[in-house]
Structure 1
Amino acid sequence: MRSLRTRVHLTASRMHKWLSLIIGLQVLIWMTSGLVMSALPIERVHGEHLVDRKAQPPITGVSAVRPLGELLSRIPGPVEEITLRMGQGRLLAEAKSGGRTFLFDPSTGARMLQISKDQAARIARESWKGGGNPEIKVTEVENLSPEFRGPLPAWQVTINDTTHVYVSRDTGRILAVRSSTWRLYDFFWSLHIMDWKNHQNFNTWWLLCFAIGGLISGLAGTVLLFMRWPVRRRRKVLRGTPVSASDPHNTAEEFTRP
């Protein structure tokens, strides 16, 4: 009958071998994707070198703003926040209510219509930092996708066939910038979290099972390392402790070392 030590050794060896075969490729993908994502500057992933989303012209014309109560009376439902900002070359009042954002002309109190195609193209062009005279194409975003997850309604402004600038139809704000660098990052992100369809769920059963398998394989490897550590075995031989002939490391070379 095999000793407890031998049974532990064989069990750990089998677990380590088979789990390594099963999850080895995914572990390689984890390391590769992690390296790529770490190497890509997050500023370039967000497209900050292409589009300036945060630039705001100085606010002017505040003296002509209508009374706040008049603006509030034109908004359906309770108002969470009102912000004055410059946009489209003039002063705008931006009000948030019920999960939506509404634009008003603060000088008249009139609610403004949604941002048009031409206005979206102008916003993207004025924010463009890539230089030159970019080719621009504007389309309506009808459905959410891994590239853009809202909020809707929005315009997709395509610049030079590679960069997508998403502009809110409610507020005219730039919501997202998607470039070739972002798509490369997102591809490796989907491989890293094992969500190949939506690229956002890192609680998938695939990821959980492979992570548990990797942990068990690592623990089994640690047990094998402890049991096969050369210094420990050499001390056994020097003390004259008998070693099982079934031990895979029981070689003539080891037992004849000085």
Structure 2
Amino acid sequence: MVLRSAKLRFHIGASRVHRWLALVIGVQLLLWFASGLVMSLLPIERVRGEHLVERSSPAILEQSRSRAPLDLVLRAATRPVREVRYRALLGREIAEVESIDGTISLHDAETGRRLGPVNAAMARAVAIQAYRGTSEPPSVRLVVASTPEFKGVLPAWRVDFPDREATRVYVAQNSGRIVAVRNGTWRLFDFFWALHIMDWKNHENFNTPWLMAFAAGGLALAIAGSALLYLRWPRKRRRTG
């Protein structure tokens, strides 16, 4: 009798916990499932904007062209150097020097002379050269602070193409490289990503208190539901002769 009473109290308690958790956690569970479905359906290539912007367009360097000795490039650098990379920028060969602290400077490949940072006209030309869509001439603005849309190397140039997807190409001021591409598909993905991780401001923190609290609530909801399923499962009664 005591055992049956304890089981009954446990059943009632589990039912109440499950009911209230379902009311509180249910909406977020729906958002988790919906956002996960949407993100899985969106092609990652379109999210990255690969159909609109060709980020990697390797240019062949002329082997016969004379280049400055490496020591001239190293002497022009103001910090200890980690790596020197020769590449093309808008049809011109340059030496990209990366310092130990991560800073990057550009140098003329023929003379070793240090070049200034990439300006707006150069950033616009880099974006237009990589753009594969159809659009009116883009506008350019300097970005000096991180936003939910871009958290890369700053400062950077934002090149806005007035096309159907409102494509934005971010070009690093220190290197002239395309560091990010944003479009309508990315913004849709980012919106559901923010709902999924419950970071509605910065869209990047996967360890928010809200997420941990609702995840714990979802686990408790599943445990309570499993307990109720066990208690309510039909059992065959033994026949007594």
1:7-86 aligned at under 5 Å gives the runs: 7-60=9-62, 63-86=65-88
Q: Which digits, 9 at most, give the CA deviation of each residue in 1:129-153, with x for residues without a partner?
A: 11x3532100111211000112012
Distance 2:92 2:62 in 1: 8
Distance 2:239 2:57 in 1: 76
Which of 101, 106, 127 aligns to 1:103? It is: 106
1:164-203 aligned at under 5 Å gives the runs: 164-203=168-207
Note if contact 2:135-2:162 (Cα within 8 Å) is conserved in structure 1.
Answer: no
**1:4–1:218 CA distance, 2 compared to 1 (3 A):** same
Deviation at 1:40, TM superposition (A): 0.2
TM-score using structure 2 length = 0.93
Note if contact 2:95-2:109 (Cα within 8 Å) is conserved in structure 1.
Answer: yes
Instruction: Give the corresponding residue for 2:92.
Output: 90
Distance 2:196 2:135 in 1: 37
My pick for the range that moved more, 57-66 or 26-35, is: 57-66
1:125 partnered with 2:139: no
Deviation at 1:23, TM superposition (A): 0.6
User: Following superposition, which runs of at least 4 residues in structure 1 exceed 3 angstroms of deviation?
Assistant: none
Count of residue pairs brought into register by the alignment: 235
SS in 2 for 1:18: helix
Computing the radius of gyration from Cα coordinates, the structure with the larger value is 1
TM-score using structure 1 length = 0.87
SS in 1 for 2:230: helix
Deviation at 1:191, TM superposition (A): 0.4
SS in 2 for 1:111: coil
Runs of 5+ in structure 2 lacking a partner?
A: none
Note if contact 1:165-1:177 (Cα within 8 Å) is conserved in structure 2.
Answer: yes
Structure 1 residue identity aligned to 2:215: A
Aligned sequence identity (%): 49
Instruction: Give the corresponding residue for 2:208.
Output: 204
Distance 1:133 1:163 in 2: 9
Note if contact 2:145-2:155 (Cα within 8 Å) is conserved in structure 1.
Answer: no
Q: Which digits, 9 at most, give the CA deviation of each residue in 1:25-65, with x for residues without a partner?
A: 00000000000000000110000000000111111256411
Deviation at 1:169, TM superposition (A): 1.0
Note if contact 2:135-2:161 (Cα within 8 Å) is conserved in structure 1.
Answer: no
Runs of 5+ in structure 1 lacking a partner?
A: 241-258
SS in 2 for 1:195: coil
Q: Which digits, 9 at most, give the CA deviation of each residue in 1:55-106, with x for residues without a partner?
A: 1111125641111111111112211111011111111100111221110002
Structure 2 residue identity aligned to 1:225: L
